[in-house]
Amino acid sequence: MKSPLPLALAAVSLLGSGLTGRAGAQTLVPFTDPKLPFTVSLPKGWFGANFNDGTGGVSVVSSKTPPAALIRLLFVSKNGKTPELKQEFRNFEAGVAQTGGKLKLFRGRNVTYGGVKGVEREYLITGAQTSVRVRIWFGNGAKNLYSFQVTDTPERYAGSSALFSQVLASLRFRS
pLDDT of 114: 94
Segment 54-61 shows an average pLDDT of: 93
Give me the number of domains the chain comprises. Answer: 1
124-168: per-residue pLDDT in tens? 999 978 899 999 999 999 999 999 999 999 999 999 999 999 999
Beta-strand relationship, 172-173 and 56-61: unpaired
Asked, for residue 102, whether it belongs to a domain, the answer is yes
Q: Is 137 helix (H, G, I), strand (E, B) or coil?
A: strand
Average pLDDT of 113-133?
Answer: 94
H-only helix segments in the chain:
6-13, 85-98, 157-169
Cβ proximity of 102 and 122 under 8 Å: no
CATH number reported for the structural domain that contains residue 128 in this entry = 3.40.1000.10
Q: What is the mean pLDDT of residues 50-71?
A: 89
pLDDT of 58 above 60 = yes
Residue 115 belongs to a domain: yes
* 1 within a domain of the structure (yes/no): no
Q: Is residue 15 part of a domain?
A: yes
pLDDT band at 2, cuts 50/70/90?
Answer: very low
Q: Which domain, by its residues, includes 29?
A: 6-173
Cα separation, 32 vs 41, in Å, equals 8
